[in-house]
A and B are shown apart, each in its own frame.
Chain A
Amino acid sequence: MAEGQRTRPADASRFGRDNILIWQVALVAGLLAAWEFFGRFSGGDQVSSPSRIINRIVIWLGGELYPHLFTTLGELSCGMAIGCSLGALVGLVLGRMPIVSIILRPIIVGLYSVPLVTLAPLFIMFFGLGLLPKIVLVSIVTFFLLFFNTFTGAQQVDEDYLRTLDLMGASKFEQFRKVVAPATAVWIVGGIKIALPYALVATITGELLATRSGLGFLISRAAERFDMTSLYAVLLILMALGLLLSETALRLEHRFLRWREAAE
């Protein structure tokens, strides 16, 4: 029983793949049909139905959805931009300063062990109902994640590379630019990939608590009015957004880290 086991015999693969797809389509179609049936003929309000939900989404796509979508995306991107850059910067700097890091690190770890998203009401208290509290929240969440990743990466830069450049007469800055930065880039990109879903959670949490716009707002508004159709519609949109974001993160990682794959 050697490596050959992992590949599939010639005859089965093509048939096997199509088979799965058929089952998946059947499953989804079945579930949707059952939901539709249930929605039309029994439960009434609490259940809604796929047709009504799709209808609502289509109507929204006509215009109403976009301001809310952009609010959420805006909060997300601003927060991430700030958090990532600060986190990466501080991580890089502290990662190369052993004394400071030894003292500060446990404190930072201690701070991080707090579920940061629970600070959301605090920020709303400070900054009001607008975009700011959410941006701050996302920034902080992202900051910590990026900081830890970058810090670890910066500490682990292979000393041999640095020594080589040192012997060539490179200045500290050049060493930083040519070795430390690219090596840490791997960790930074990894950090961004990890931070993305957390940032989304932070954004939505902030919006659920208090806001005038955004996908989270659409959810609370629908919930207040017991408007199940809208509620399900937003959840669906949010699901799609989540998938899109994780796919983007993966593509990004591929793009930036291709040299790493080649090296391995």
Chain B
Amino acid sequence: MAPRTAVIGTGRARRPGATGGDQSALERFFSTSAGRIGSRLVLVALILLVWEYAPVPRATRFWMSSPSLILGTLWDWLFDGTIWAHLGSTLLVMSEGYVIGCAAGIGFGFLLGFFPRLSRVLAPLLASFYALPKIALAPLFVILLGVDNSSKVALVAVTVFFLVLTSTIDGVRAVDRNTVNALVLMGATRTEIIRKVLIWAALPWIFTGMRIAVRYAFTTTLLAELIAANRGLGFLIELSSGNFNTTGAYAAIMVVIICSVLLTELLSRLENRMSHWNQKFTPRSAPPSTAIA
């Protein structure tokens, strides 16, 4: 490893700690958890400070706004109900659309999964719909269902539907042919195989699809609110931007960011819990050997 000592700092061909003794002081600092978190905090603090106090001309300051102004707006909104009203609307639309989309997606997914010929016939049709950016349907739904929540819910439902549909079909298709055959030879009817095997076997895929769909439901709700709505976080962003209220727009975006981060955290906790539970059913590499054979 001798030639490598010339490469310090960037450490391109090695990682901090990978080659034990070779670390520089800098690397050692950053490999500790305190070092990492500390440096991130310092970075963020620096950015905030520059944002707040940089001496910029009035015009630029208008466009930039500042952390204090933004926080001020958020504070106001917190107490005059603005946030709650809009946040509530967004969450409501998101959940309604999600539930409808999941139910339809799973149902249809099972249908197509159990009847592969049907699935093959419909495949090109589904593929075309998949290729369409769903957001383009927003104006159509508004015309058909009005500016109120129904059009937004419909859009979210459609988006979620396609995602969950694909996952469900994948799940049903992933079932081992041998397992099904074994049951067929036992004399199982089609219904029995579906009920006893296919539905359960497809569950992991379905859950994965449902987890991914939550993000899309959130994003689609916001998008629908941007395009045509009179309520919701997306609407708040659009309203502020339309009024050239930079501070307001940033504040609304901050709320979205916070929600988004919370959502991600929630989903990742859920995923951990589920994979923990899943351990019971997934073979591990070294099975418990409390008995011979």
State the A residues within 8 Å of B (CB).
Answer: 1, 5, 20, 23-24, 27-28, 46, 96-99, 102-104, 106-107, 110, 113-115, 117-122, 124-126, 159, 162-163, 166, 172, 175, 197, 200-201, 204-205, 208-209, 215-216, 219-220, 222-223, 226, 228, 231, 234-235, 238-239, 242-243, 245-246
Contact = CB atoms under 8 A, between A and B. Distances in A.
12 contacts: A98-B15, A103-B39, A115-B222, A118-B237, A163-B13, A204-B133, A208-B138, A216-B136, A223-B143, A235-B132, A239-B129, A239-B132
CB-based closest 9 A-B pairs? A242-B131, A121-B241, A223-B139, A115-B219, A125-B241, A243-B131, A201-B133, A239-B132, A23-B121
A1 B178 contact: yes
Contact of A125 (B14, B142, B246, B256): B246
Interface string B151-184: 0000000000000000000000000011001000
A102 B135 contact: no
A103 B256 contact: no
A231 B139 contact: yes
B1 to A, nearest CB: 9
Contacts of A235: 132, 136-137, 140
B237 A238 contact: no
Given A23-B121, A204-B136, A114 B143 contact: no
B13 A159 contact: yes
A195 B144 CA distance: 31
Contacts of A1: 177-178, 181
Contacts of B143: 46, 223, 226, 228, 231
A99 B136 contact: no
A219 B136 contact: yes
B284 interface: no
A222 B139 CA distance: 9
A235 B132 CA distance: 8
Nearest to B10: A97
A243 B127 contact: yes
A180 to B, nearest CB: 9
B272 interface: no
Given A115-B260, A205-B135, A235-B137, A20 B120 contact: yes
B97 interface: no
A238 B177 contact: no
A5 B177 contact: yes
Nearest to A16: B117
Nearest to B30: A99
Question: Which of B4, B9, B30 is packed against the most chain A CB atoms within 10 Å?
Answer: B30
Question: Which of B43, B63, B131 is packed against the most chain A CB atoms within 10 Å?
Answer: B131
A41 to B, nearest CB: 20
Contacts, number: 160
Given A113-B264, A219-B139, A121 B226 contact: yes
B253 interface: yes
Given A103-B40, A115-B222, A121 B238 contact: yes
Contact of B132 (A107, A126, A175, A238): A238
A208 B234 CA distance: 14
Contacts of A27: 121-122, 125
A165 to B, nearest CB: 10
A166 B1 CA distance: 10
Contact of A117 (B13, B122, B129, B223): B223
B36 interface: yes
B206 interface: no
Contact of B226 (A46, A102, A159, A209): A209
Given A20-B120, A125-B244, A243-B128, A103 B253 contact: no
Given A27-B125, A113-B261, A125-B241, A205 B223 contact: yes
A208 B224 CA distance: 11
Given A114-B253, A117-B223, A96 B10 contact: yes
B253 A119 contact: yes
A65 to B, nearest CB: 16
A120 B10 CA distance: 37
Contact of B36 (A103, A228, A246): A103
Contacts of B181: 1
Contacts of B107: none
B12 interface: yes
A98 B16 contact: yes
Contacts of B40: 103, 106-107
Contacts of B219: 115, 117-118
A166 B140 contact: no
B28 to A, nearest CB: 11
A172 B11 CA distance: 11
Contacts of B16: 98-99, 102
